[in-house]
Amino acid sequence: MNFDEIIDRRGTFSSKWDNMEAYGGVSPDVGIPMWVADMDFQAADVLQDAMRNLLERANYGYFTGENEMKEATAWWMKERHGWTVDPDHMSSTAGLGHAIALILETYTNPGDEVIIFSPVYHEFAYKIKLNKRVVHEAPLVIRDGVYHMDMDALEAGLTGKERMMLISSPHNPAGRIWTPAELRQLADFCRRHDLYMVCDEIHHDLVYPGQSFTSFLNAAPEAAEYCFILTAASKTFNTAGARLGTVTIPNDHLRQRFRQALVEHQTQPNLLGVELTRAAYSPGGAEWVDALVSYIDRNHRLFLDGIGQIPALKAMPMQATYLAWVNFADTGMEMSEVLRRIHEDARLVPSIGTGFGTGGENCLRFNIATPRARVAEAVERLQTAFADLQ
Ligand SMILES: Cc1ncc(COP(=O)(O)O)c(C=O)c1O
């Protein structure tokens, strides 16, 4: 577990590294990619052992093991989140982007509105639009420096066409953990307005020491009848390439419909995803995650302290995730100038905030799940690029 080790990912078909020049115009030879949400660390030993076993078996044919993976997933949820979940309520998808698309397709109709709290993970709005549903944005408001949901404004702006609410819990970007009271409020809102609730908990393991995350169904068990809980080992263990996500649907009728949709689409989990997820959700995996979180926590403090020393830059305090959200509005600069400095002067490639919807206009999202030396380098480059700010 040497998270300080610099691993050269250039030319390894890593999307974050190999596509950074196309996205941000910065060569991977001189730049630091801080956009795509994956990590630059070596995989956990439990994953490497699983891969070695697979390699030794030397056969990649049809397989079983999905049930054991679901049992391992249920063990993890109980052990790490105090959430008792029935493995029979789980279905496997090809990642959570796929799960969201399939849920939209199965339970809503073209023209229906889906509520999202912006700024939020850009794929939410993208998937909604791609499926010809309508994005109903509920902009988050900043109070005491962090995001809050404005439920009164949401209620006042309802059109009657809303069918679903989709949230990121913890929240991407900015790493806000919604409190049990907030989650209960959302559950109640969905019940009163007859909305399905889709709660994406993909970031739930990456919670900083001293913070506590509550699974949606622990906060609001009564919402079991109309909710979908999305989880995956992919953010926690950096296995996004294995395309495996889990959708937990406690309601029998809703679950049957989802299973039917999977059958109609001939969707089955893949061998790599199942093997890696089963291996990840284990005591050895837990040990690795504890070390990882403590490492990222120190990265996050280094990054936020460094940003804090640049006048006019505001990094939102984070409770979870490795995605730091920095607001440049107080620089008084056009975002084109901010981006010029970030790309050309600092040679960093963060995610551009506009993609996250309303509220993201003046922001950039920085992925800090990389060896500390690189985070320190990124901070120094930012301080130099904005040294003229007073
Ligand atoms: C909230 C959220 N959901 C889903 C995903 C992506 O999931 P997948 O790679 O399984 O499609 C991400 C990736 O960053 C995310 O932040």
CATH of the domain at 239: 3.40.640.10
Residue 99 C-alpha to ligand 1 middle, in angstroms?
10
For residue 1, being part of any structural domain is answered with: no
Residue 331 C-alpha to ligand 1 middle, in angstroms?
31
The answer, yes or no, to whether any atom of ligand 1 lies below 6 A from the CB of 200, is yes
Residue 238 C-alpha to ligand 1 middle, in angstroms?
11
CA distances 202 to 19, 36, 67, 117, 171, Å, are 24, 15, 20, 16, 10
Same domain, 230 and 308: no
Residue 28 is classified by DSSP as T
Q: How far apart are CA 350 and CA 372, in angstroms?
A: 16
Backbone φ and ψ of 352, nearest 5°: -85, 130
The answer, yes or no, to whether any atom of ligand 1 lies below 6 A from the CB of 38, is no
Same domain, 336 and 262: no
At which of 265, 281, 297 does a domain end? 281
Same domain, 196 and 306: no
Atom in ligand 1 nearest the alpha carbon of residue 37: 14
At which of 238, 259, 281 does a domain end? 281
Same domain, 209 and 337: no
Which pLDDT does position 170 carry in this prediction? 98
- Confidence category of residue 384, pLDDT binned at 50, 70, 90: very high
Same domain, 106 and 199: yes
Residue 97 C-alpha to ligand 1 middle, in angstroms?
6
- The contacts of residue 241 (CB under 8 Å, 6+ apart) are none
For residue 322, being part of any structural domain is answered with: yes
Contact 125, 365 (CB under 8 A): no
- Confidence category of residue 340, pLDDT binned at 50, 70, 90: very high
Residue 273 C-alpha to ligand 1 middle, in angstroms?
15
**What is the residue range of 133's domain?**
60-281
- Asked if the model's pLDDT at residue 390 lies above 80, the reply is no
User: Which helix H or strand E contains 307, and what residues bound it?
Assistant: helix 283-308
When the pLDDT of each residue in the chain is averaged and rounded to a whole number, the result is 97
Same domain, 373 and 299: yes
The sign of the dihedral angle between the CA atoms of 273, 279, 283, 287 is: negative
The answer, yes or no, to whether any atom of ligand 1 lies below 6 A from the CB of 245, is yes
User: Domain containing 28 — which CATH number?
Assistant: 3.90.1150.10
For residue 50, being part of any structural domain is answered with: no
For residue 53, being part of any structural domain is answered with: no
Same domain, 74 and 150: yes
Structure confidence by residue, pLDDT tens digits, 60-90:
999 999 999 999 999 999 999 999 999 999 9
Question: Residue with the nearest Cα to atom 11 of ligand 1?
Answer: 97
For residue 226, being part of any structural domain is answered with: yes
Percent of the chain with pLDDT strictly greater than 70: 100
Same domain, 106 and 168: yes
Residue 316 C-alpha to ligand 1 middle, in angstroms?
21
Task: Give the total number of structural domains in the chain.
Answer: 2
Same domain, 161 and 186: yes
Same domain, 300 and 263: no
The answer, yes or no, to whether any atom of ligand 1 lies below 6 A from the CB of 95, is yes
Residue 96 C-alpha to ligand 1 middle, in angstroms?
6
Same domain, 136 and 191: yes
Residue 106 CB neighbours (<10 A): 17
Q: How far apart are CA 266 and CA 269, in angstroms?
A: 10
For residue 155, being part of any structural domain is answered with: yes
Q: How far apart are CA 257 and CA 253, in angstroms?
A: 6
Which pLDDT does position 1 carry in this prediction? 81
For residue 49, being part of any structural domain is answered with: no
Q: Which of 118, 120, 123 to mutate to test the pocket of ligand 1 (most atoms within 8 A of CB)?
A: 123
At which of 217, 250, 281 does a domain end? 281
Q: Which of 92, 93, 121 to mutate to test the pocket of ligand 1 (most atoms within 8 A of CB)?
A: 121
- Asked if the model's pLDDT at residue 160 lies above 80, the reply is yes
For residue 5, being part of any structural domain is answered with: no
Same domain, 185 and 126: yes
The answer, yes or no, to whether any atom of ligand 1 lies below 6 A from the CB of 240, is yes
